[in-house]
Amino acid sequence: MQKNDLFRMIVEDMSEEGEGIGHVDGHTLFVKDAVIGDEIEGKVIKEKKTYAYGRLMQVVSPSKDRVTPPCPVAAPCGGCQLQAMNYKAQLAFKEKKVRAHLERLGHFTDLPMEPILGMEGEPFRYRNKAQYPLGRDRDGKLIAGFYAGRTHQVISCGDCLLGPAINQKILDSVLSFMENCRIEPYEETTGKGLVRHILIREGFATGEIMVCLVINGRKLPFAEKLVEALLAIPGMASISLNVNRKNTNVILGDEIINLYGPGYITDRIGDVSYQISPLSFYQVNPAQTVHLYGKALEFAGLTGTETVWDLYCGIGTISLFLARQAGKVYGVEIIPAAIENAKANAALNGCANTEFFVGKAEDVLPEHFRQTGERADVIVVDPPRKGCDKVLLDTMLAMQPSRIVYVSCDSATLARDLRILCDGGYEIERVQPVDMFPMTVHCESCVRLVRMK
């Protein structure tokens, strides 16, 4: 197949990134926005030896699972890969994806996988955090929104249907301030301009709102006018600046300059309260976080006497769930500000049986074990997408905890790490997928491993 060739095909499967997969004349085609069961017409936009990428031109016969995306920019925006698929089919796709990774990459069979936990009700307006890049459209108008898929072209989208409706009012207020005060958005190509992103967080349980402007500098002109405008919005509790002067794709820098409020907002998951700063890692879907952390606590099987290590603990979100039913909980996180939040959150919730360490999990845990020889009864890990470092996995095996609870946001690296742990003497007892990110291809999993006797 060659570029610009037209084709017709039936979508037989979907890739891990949510692209429809079909076959034409022995070639495999990947087509964005196509749904399993669709018969489509498309055009080749990129060709390889045995496969090609196509652009959806027309749905000739729609799949039984196809729905009309409610978001007007669902196609060009890179955020929602599955919005054209009904939610039941999305859940089936994600459960299949997790199982396939564990079987194909981890070489596991007869997996004790439980049905995926999806959202109850409409799977929209669930995100408590959004990061909006800024730019100008073709007419020179200042806009905020999201990057188009695999590009850094900003698509204007103030009212993302995954976040709260109040975000539109906040963005309008910030953009109006910037226009009136002639403050320019950052341009990646030139490195000029001031405001890079607008970070918005909301505590769904408390109604408290945080706004943080990521800036290419250390000062925002007329900052007092921005504060005055934002304080007119009900619930506004924290306004700050984040300094990021690096030529990088990383959104946040390390320095926070507080403009209004205590520098954090407060939220609750179940009956546990958390203080959240701009740099804090905090799950974006509080409704599903209750289920995910509830499973982690259930899989830990605590009786009140256990020593537990919570690795990649963030601001102590899982640690404080565990501390209610454990003897002692140690938390490890690389970001110093997050550990300060974790300590404050432990005090806020009266959890005196916790201790937190700043550093890489693969450094802190081995050093602690080497110096003390203290073993863990339970280890909980919730690593980033790249999974756990090999040194950390080896230390976990050396400590021989009775149970390991692995919370994962990437089932491919999960499969790799589970294989190492199981080859080292553990077996998988339960696997629970949890849909934390409806309309996207991402899926969380919680796995309980037990040490074989």
The tokens describing 216, both together, are 């290419």
Whether 81 is covered by a domain: the verdict is no
pLDDT tens-digit series, residues 399-444: 999 999 999 999 999 999 999 999 999 999 999 999 999 999 999 9
Is residue 142 domain-shared with residue 265, that is, in the same domain? yes
Is residue 445 domain-shared with residue 304, that is, in the same domain? yes
Whether the predicted pLDDT of 78 surpasses 90: no
Any idea which residue has 């003897």 for tokens?
Answer: 327
Whether 427 is covered by a domain: the verdict is yes
At 364 the pLDDT is 96
At 50 the pLDDT is 86
Whether 232 is covered by a domain: the verdict is yes
Is residue 326 domain-shared with residue 443, that is, in the same domain? yes
Is residue 108 domain-shared with residue 187, that is, in the same domain? no
Is residue 135 domain-shared with residue 110, that is, in the same domain? no
Indicate the pTM of the whole model.
Answer: 0.94
Tell me which of 126 and 248 has the higher pLDDT.
126
Is residue 134 domain-shared with residue 116, that is, in the same domain? no
How many whole angstroms separate alpha carbon 437 and alpha carbon 291?
Answer: 13
DSSP conformation class of 173:
H
The catalytic residues are: 409
Whether 275 is covered by a domain: the verdict is no
Whether 26 is covered by a domain: the verdict is yes
Smallest CA-to-CA distance from 307 within 393, 369, 384, 382 is with: 369
Whether the predicted pLDDT of 26 surpasses 90: no
Percent of the chain with pLDDT over 90: 92
Whether the predicted pLDDT of 184 surpasses 80: yes
Q: Can you give the residue range of the structural domain that contains 29? A: 6-66
Is residue 261 domain-shared with residue 289, that is, in the same domain? no
pLDDT tens-digit series, residues 210-257: 999 999 999 999 999 999 999 999 999 999 999 999 998 899 999 999
The CATH number that applies at residue 217 is 2.40.50.1070
DSSP conformation class of 222:
T
The CATH number that applies at residue 425 is 3.40.50.150
Average pLDDT, the chain: 96
Whether the predicted pLDDT of 23 surpasses 80: yes
The tokens describing 192, both together, are 């000029």
How many whole angstroms separate alpha carbon 438 and alpha carbon 119?
Answer: 8
Whether 157 is covered by a domain: the verdict is yes
pLDDT band at 133 (very low <50, low <70, confident <90, very high): very high
pLDDT tens-digit series, residues 297-309: 999 999 999 999 9
At 148 the pLDDT is 87
At 419 the pLDDT is 98
How many distinct structural domains can be found in the chain?
3
Whether 79 is covered by a domain: the verdict is no
Whether 164 is covered by a domain: the verdict is yes
Q: Which residues partner with 241 through β-bridges?
A: 213, 257
For 36-65, what is the mean pLDDT? 96
Q: CA-CA distances (angstroms) from residue 320 to 179, 303, 350, 365, 376?
A: 44, 15, 10, 19, 17
